[in-house]
Structure 1
Amino acid sequence: MGLTKHARRVLQQQASALLAEHVPRLGADRRRILTALLVETAGNWRLFVRADPPDARADAFLLGPEGLFAVTVAAGPPERPGLHALVRHAEESCAGIRDGRGRELTGSAVHFVLITPGPPVALPDPGPFRVLAEPEVAKLFKRTAPHLTRRQIDAIGEQAARILDGYVPLRVRPPAHEASAAGFLDAGRLVEAEVAAAQLRPFDSWLTFLHPHQRAIVTRDYRGPARISGPAGTGKTVVALHRLRHVARRSAGPLLFTTFVRTLPPVHEAAFRRLAPEFGGRAEFVHLHAWVRRFLTGRGRPVEVDARGVRTAFGRAWSRHRAVLEPIERHDEYWRTELDRVIKGRGFTTLEEYRRPAVRRGRELRLGFEQKAAVWQFYETYQEMLAERGLHDYNDVIDIALAELRRQPLETRYAAVVVDEVQDITLNGLRLIKELAGTGPNQLLLVGDGQQQVYPGGWRLSDAGIPVLGRGEVLRVNYRNRTEVLAFAQQFDAVNEVDDLDGASGVALKNAEAGNTGGAAVSWRGTEADLAAELTRRIAGLTAPLGQTALILFQRQDLVRCRRILREAGIPVLSLDDYSGAPDDHLKVGTVHRAKGLDFQAVLVVEFPAGAGEGGAAADEAAELRDRQRLVAATRARDFLWWGVVEDVADTDGAAG
């Protein structure tokens, strides 16, 4: 607020008089601090002050661009029974507030703030509170990352005035002779802040509002592991982040959010710090293999993977066995996946285990008794090649960590573990997660969608001994993609049958309900010679900010070709390998594997020819896998999607779109 010292003194006098009139029995500490908060309502803030004497409720609710705060004035947090009552009251009091899109203000969106009178003090256990000393109150009003627009603040304020029982809405006005200047300055700053935020990213209304079904999942009490599934764009990760905060308020101990996708943790960590900054020190966001390596190092058993050495070991093993295996399936990549996702990924240690009748989920080729014996010999040779050089592959690292956890469980257990994009984790990886998370009430939440699996192979959660019967949730409404983008993505069949990650029927993207209208999806076909001009033209014509746009490819070699085009055109880029979710003005570029779990205002996809297919199980699996990858790529776009297909010259009939 741009006010003179005189105007601020006048506001302080107004605030003091209002509090004396409406809340006469305030103690000195509460009066001083609430006066300081009330002065800020001359800008774009609202204050609701408790009219009754102190009890197990927040002293005030503060509403502004940064969200909704339940404010307690005290020397320290209340003891556990009173603390739980305070949290429950604040969350439930705001539950009836809605926006214009049928969404509800979720209790996990309420920020809890403890303001201690006098100078800063160190509190050993602040619980769910962000702690500020009296001289630090101004930090609440710094516009760092606005959650709410001015219209949303007005709407929430009107509803809160009606439903916050026992709280009085109070607000001060600038002095008359400065009202126009102060009001203009405040409005100008607000508009400037909103425009700046909109350029970086849309206002993240998910931080405050959820749809009723989503909100119910956030607060549900699960008596064991739970699972959230659903098509792309249905808000699974948003629900998971809110639930992590909800559980954190009701527990003690560290929190873990993990995934198989290496690039997702820093993005989700940034989002969680906006949602729940008070739990930043408790919450750990790390991809699964990084967690495993750190765990083993802490146990005195550091293991690193030499990817080049592993590839060499596989190549030498393949050269010995290709004469036997090529007549069954000629592509060595198929057999690499058989080792990675079936034999080692499922934890088979003997030929007898491998030979047992089982559903080979995600594998087209059915192997007979003797064929499996030949594959097992190939596997044993590969293991020998690794052992000769003292090497381990990624599956070995998981196996070592799993054995170590079973030998000696974690000394400090996680209060809650959330696993995102769970469909891409191997079965042994799931067993590891079960060991580190446990199966107690509200301890483990698994989030994923079988239709978005971008690696071959599959499993059911029950295969890992993780019971979720009666604790499975399926989200059906797509809130991310606008109608035209969603319709384009729905053309990719990506397998006709979709399960809920445990064998039951799930919801495919083609059956998802659309939550947002509008948008645009454009197609283009042409030669590689035409691609450079078309791609740069499309990027130049984007209405979305460059920093809110991504270019997605399907293969690493395709990524190299397109980066060359962008470099020659002078377009600033940031690899998705290095993307943390922080706002910038660079085009994001990466493969579909790195784009998993992310979304952007605009997305450009370039698909190069996949090469001549020769039929067979490997070709069938590759085609099915590519359709799932296409679906993932298309659903990263919120408002605009451009899909470019590069064809061989002989196959090109012209460009379109």
Structure 2
Amino acid sequence: MTIAGESAGVEARRQRSHAQELRRQANDAEQRAARFEIAERTESETAQLLAPLAGIGYHLLADRRWPGSRTAQVDMVVVGRAGIFIVDTKAWREVAVHGDRITRGQEDVTDDIARLADLAYSTEAALADIGLAPGEVHAVAALAGQKRMHARVASVDVIGTHDLVGHITKRGARLSASRVDEVLAAMLTHFPVIGDDAASAPQVVVPAAVLPRESAPTPAPTIAALDDELTDQLLDGVLESPIEDWMAFLDPAQAKLVRRSFNGPARIRGAAGTGKTVVGLHRAAYLARSTGGRVLFTTYIKTLPRVLESLLERLAPDMVGRVDFVGVHAFATRLLKGRGIAFRAPGLEARLAFDDAWNAIRASSPLRSSRFSRPYWEDEIKHVIKGRGLTRFEQYADLARVGRKHALPLETRQAVWDLYEAYSRGLRERRAHDWEDIVLLARDAVAAVPLERYDAVIVDEAQDLSCAMVSLMHHLVGDRADGLTLIGDGQQTIYPGGYTLGEVGISLSGRGVVLDVNHRNTAEILEFAKEMVADDQFVDIEGVDGVGDTVSAISRSGPAPAFHRFSSRAEHDRVMLARLSEVLRLIGTGHGDVGILTATNRQADDVRAVLRAAGVPVVMLDEYSGRTTDAVRLGTVKRAKGLEFKQVLLAHVDRGMVDAAPAESSESDRERRERGRRKLYVGMTRARDGLWVGVRDGVSRSR
């Protein structure tokens, strides 16, 4: 039985519920509208704050579509000489950063920041197709109305909107004007205009702020109207430092390689001039940035790390302190000191220990054969035996001796081992160590107790390291993904002996990449240098016989190298100074663009005396830190590995290195000549624009 009025009551309640739902929806809509109004106001304010950048050549792309989305938008993309900045304005208050998390009040907003980091990462990938280095794309969360604040979360800079201009301009001039145009064209495609038909609409590219919202017209700010702080920031952006395109631009293959992920140890190789070290530097910065951890960049040449560290300060200033540049020997000594492991720094005692062992050898020993020399056997012990950490004669008796050209019969190997044991006893009696001992001690220490410091290790000029050195580096990171990157070229090996990765227990399993485009040398310089190693055969660290990687393309051409022979030092030095004066008259070439390289330290000292007498400013490579100075760089070819110069002068070259090999020569002489010609190849390929070679009779081979 229906009660009177029941249906009316049901309807009334239904209507009231409906009205309540409408009020809730209206309230939600009001809140959304308020948020959009705030967003419109704050984003417009951000655009107005950034507008003065247009006056110094920046392009401001506002309200662009988020790649892959039809509705999400990117507030602002700034493209200019300092790189690319993806700016997302946040009207957040009570912002706090707790380690790798960020909150607004009680709300965790880390995911919002992470999405912006992902956008920057995908943009890096898109720009790799035109060769832009990853570190030139920056994600910025701009807090509306805030000033003098800066935090970093998930590789995103969280700063106040009033700090934006200074944040952008402080990076200086990274890209040339033509490079900016290339990047801008790519960004207009990657971040399309919002709207269904926007992708097909014509777009005019001008260096001006693009502010699509309707707003009351406001006069463009003039320098006089801006506050002093903003004026200084803009002027800093105009007063550009010298542009070095290689900092920001690589070729597309190199740019993709920097970001490439490997599921274990990897190797990057290629002929001289293909940009291996530059790729390694960019990769170090990229891995440090993407992992949030630390990266070790190491090499055999002790002076190269500080030069590379200086370059990183310009290439990726945000990663300074996150990449450690340390030579292998310095790393080993620091590790031993940190672990409290006793050792003595190598010095005179080690030399005396070898003297005693050598002098005790009888005249009838095969080691005294005229076919060999004492330095040959010193190298055998240093690189072949101790460089591998061999402890039993049986290991040495069957060893392939990679990198040494001449087979040794068992009798001779036994004599070498006896010499090694006598030397080792001498070291123990003197409580002394040599550098090979230091490396082995460090290797064993890390093998016993892992060093949990580095997420990645990059080894430059890996072919110059010993087996034990590579093993030490491998122990730091093991076979983890992107853990170990070996960079080098077997053709540029200048030390005796060698190793294969199989001896270290490292498998590349297809994780090897070859760079084959020469961006450094002119075709004429490279062709001239290749004559030094035309007949060179070597066993690469991957265990295969090689004749050197080929170059598929050379991007530059120039004058033919100058080659001169001299019978006297005075004539050599006179023509060398004349050549120096000649290249210094070239437009864009200063003293700091010239490298004078020699085979020995004594020759370098002789050249320094000549330069100083002529009033030429000079800095020795063993004192060079990578800083720009108006002084000629001078040092040995070994010290020049990993460097490049606009002009190179190879001084006091031994004629025996460039003339035909003698018909009859000893094994040690043939091996020495082969290494000497490789050194010449390395020295010649340091030259970017011009090369001069001065050959002399009777030059010193010592030191």
Q: Specify the TM-score bucket, using the shorter chain as the normaliser.
A: 0.7 to 0.9
Specify which of 502, 507, 530 is matched with residue 571 of structure 2. Answer: 530
1:37 paired to 2:50 = yes
Specify which of 43, 68, 71 is matched with residue 84 of structure 2. Answer: 68
Q: How far does residue 490 in structure 1 lie from its aligned partner after superposition?
A: 1.5
Match of 2:430 in 1: 389
Distance 1:432 1:96, change over 3 A: closer
1:341 paired to 2:341 = no
Contact conserved, 2:521 with 2:685, CA < 8 A, in 1?
Answer: yes
Contact conserved, 1:228 with 1:475, CA < 8 A, in 2?
Answer: yes
Match of 1:579 in 2: 624
1:128 paired to 2:169 = no
Q: Distance in 2 between matches of 1:482 and 1:126?
A: 44
Distance 1:277 1:523, change over 3 A: same
Contact conserved, 1:451 with 1:494, CA < 8 A, in 2?
Answer: no
Specify which of 68, 80, 89 is matched with residue 119 of structure 2. Answer: 89
String of CA shifts for 1:52-100, please: whole Å, max 9, x gaps: 69999864322222222233445567777655543342243365558xx
Contact conserved, 2:117 with 2:156, CA < 8 A, in 1?
Answer: no
Match of 1:439 in 2: 479
1:217-256 alignment runs, 5 A limit: 217-256=257-296
String of CA shifts for 1:504-535, please: whole Å, max 9, x gaps: 46672665531222354211211212022111
Q: Distance in 1 between matches of 2:534 and 2:352?
A: 33
Match of 1:646 in 2: 696
**Counterpart of 2:533 in 1: which secondary structure?**
coil
* Bigger mean CA offset, 464-473 vs 156-165: 156-165
Q: Distance in 1 between matches of 2:527 and 2:192?
A: 45
* Bigger mean CA offset, 276-285 vs 76-85: 76-85
Q: Distance in 1 between matches of 2:423 and 2:647?
A: 44
Distance 1:499 1:364, change over 3 A: closer
String of CA shifts for 1:477-498, please: whole Å, max 9, x gaps: 1111112211211111265335
String of CA shifts for 1:575-620, please: whole Å, max 9, x gaps: 1112122111010001011000101111111134378988211101
1:168-317 alignment runs, 5 A limit: 171-172=208-209, 193=239, 197=242, 203-301=243-341, 303-317=343-357
Match of 1:165 in 2: 192
Q: How far does residue 140 in structure 1 lie from its aligned partner after superposition?
A: 3.0
String of CA shifts for 1:632-655, please: whole Å, max 9, x gaps: 000101111111112259xxxxxx
Q: How far does residue 142 in structure 1 lie from its aligned partner after superposition?
A: 4.0
**Counterpart of 2:369 in 1: which secondary structure?**
coil
**Letter aligned with residue 680 of structure 2:** R
TM-score, normalised to structure 2, is 0.79
Match of 2:27 in 1: none
1:409 paired to 2:450 = yes
String of CA shifts for 1:81-132, please: whole Å, max 9, x gaps: 655543342243365558xxx9433444323445455244574x63424554
Q: How far does residue 28 in structure 1 lie from its aligned partner after superposition?
A: 5.4
TM-score, normalised to structure 1, is 0.85
Contact conserved, 1:223 with 1:441, CA < 8 A, in 2?
Answer: yes
Contact conserved, 1:553 with 1:592, CA < 8 A, in 2?
Answer: yes
Distance 1:568 1:106, change over 3 A: closer
Match of 1:104 in 2: 131
Unaligned runs of 5+ in 2: 1-35, 103-108, 199-204, 211-217
Q: How far does residue 38 in structure 1 lie from its aligned partner after superposition?
A: 2.4
Match of 1:364 in 2: 405
Q: How far does residue 334 in structure 1 lie from its aligned partner after superposition?
A: 0.3
Contact conserved, 1:92 with 1:107, CA < 8 A, in 2?
Answer: no
Q: Distance in 1 between matches of 2:37 and 2:581?
A: 61
Q: Distance in 1 between matches of 2:488 and 2:554?
A: 19
**Letter aligned with residue 426 of structure 1:** S
Contact conserved, 1:120 with 1:134, CA < 8 A, in 2?
Answer: no
Structure whose alpha-carbon radius of gyration is higher: 2
Specify which of 165, 173, 185 is matched with residue 146 of structure 1. Answer: 173
* Bigger mean CA offset, 397-406 vs 125-134: 125-134
Match of 2:533 in 1: 493
Q: How far does residue 190 in structure 1 lie from its aligned partner after superposition?
A: 10
Q: How far does residue 215 in structure 1 lie from its aligned partner after superposition?
A: 2.7
String of CA shifts for 1:524-561, please: whole Å, max 9, x gaps: 21121202211111111112211111111001111111
**Counterpart of 2:494 in 1: which secondary structure?**
coil
Distance 1:62 1:402, change over 3 A: same
Match of 1:465 in 2: 505
Q: Distance in 1 between matches of 2:289 and 2:238?
A: 35
Unaligned runs of 5+ in 1: 1-22, 198-202, 650-657
Q: How far does residue 163 in structure 1 lie from its aligned partner after superposition?
A: 2.9
Distance 1:304 1:570, change over 3 A: farther
Q: Distance in 2 between matches of 1:43 and 1:192?
A: 6
Specify which of 368, 387, 401 is matched with residue 326 of structure 1. Answer: 368
**Letter aligned with residue 161 of structure 1:** L
**Letter aligned with residue 409 of structure 2:** G
Q: Distance in 2 between matches of 1:289 and 1:60?
A: 48
Q: Distance in 2 between matches of 1:424 and 1:316?
A: 28
**Letter aligned with residue 40 of structure 1:** L
Q: Distance in 2 between matches of 1:66 and 1:520?
A: 37
Q: Distance in 1 between matches of 2:315 and 2:475?
A: 28
Match of 1:18 in 2: none
Distance 1:191 1:282, change over 3 A: closer
Contact conserved, 1:552 with 1:606, CA < 8 A, in 2?
Answer: yes
* Bigger mean CA offset, 148-157 vs 50-59: 50-59
Q: Distance in 1 between matches of 2:190 and 2:343?
A: 57
Match of 2:595 in 1: 550
**Counterpart of 2:508 in 1: which secondary structure?**
coil
Q: Distance in 1 between matches of 2:472 and 2:81?
A: 42
Match of 2:683 in 1: 633
Q: Distance in 2 between matches of 1:573 and 1:132?
A: 44
Q: Distance in 2 between matches of 1:93 and 1:238?
A: 21
Contact conserved, 2:52 with 2:221, CA < 8 A, in 1?
Answer: no
Q: How many matched pairs?
A: 612
Q: Distance in 1 between matches of 2:290 and 2:352?
A: 50
Q: How far does residue 416 in structure 1 lie from its aligned partner after superposition?
A: 1.2
Q: Distance in 1 between matches of 2:397 and 2:56?
A: 71
Distance 1:339 1:610, change over 3 A: farther
Q: Distance in 2 between matches of 1:435 and 1:82?
A: 38
Distance 1:369 1:113, change over 3 A: same
Contact conserved, 2:516 with 2:550, CA < 8 A, in 1?
Answer: no
Q: Distance in 2 between matches of 1:507 and 1:133?
A: 57
Q: How far does residue 448 in structure 1 lie from its aligned partner after superposition?
A: 0.5
Q: Distance in 2 between matches of 1:158 and 1:122?
A: 30
Q: Distance in 2 between matches of 1:369 and 1:279?
A: 53
String of CA shifts for 1:363-413, please: whole Å, max 9, x gaps: 123222221111111111111222222111111001111111111111x24
**Letter aligned with residue 692 of structure 2:** W
Contact conserved, 1:413 with 1:437, CA < 8 A, in 2?
Answer: no
**Counterpart of 2:688 in 1: which secondary structure?**
strand
Match of 1:624 in 2: 674
Distance 1:402 1:95, change over 3 A: closer
Q: Distance in 1 between matches of 2:349 and 2:293?
A: 39
Calculate percent identity across the aligned residue pairs. 33
Distance 1:26 1:550, change over 3 A: same
Specify which of 640, 643, 646 is matched with residue 595 of structure 1. Answer: 640
**Counterpart of 1:375 in 2: which secondary structure?**
helix
Contact conserved, 1:96 with 1:105, CA < 8 A, in 2?
Answer: no
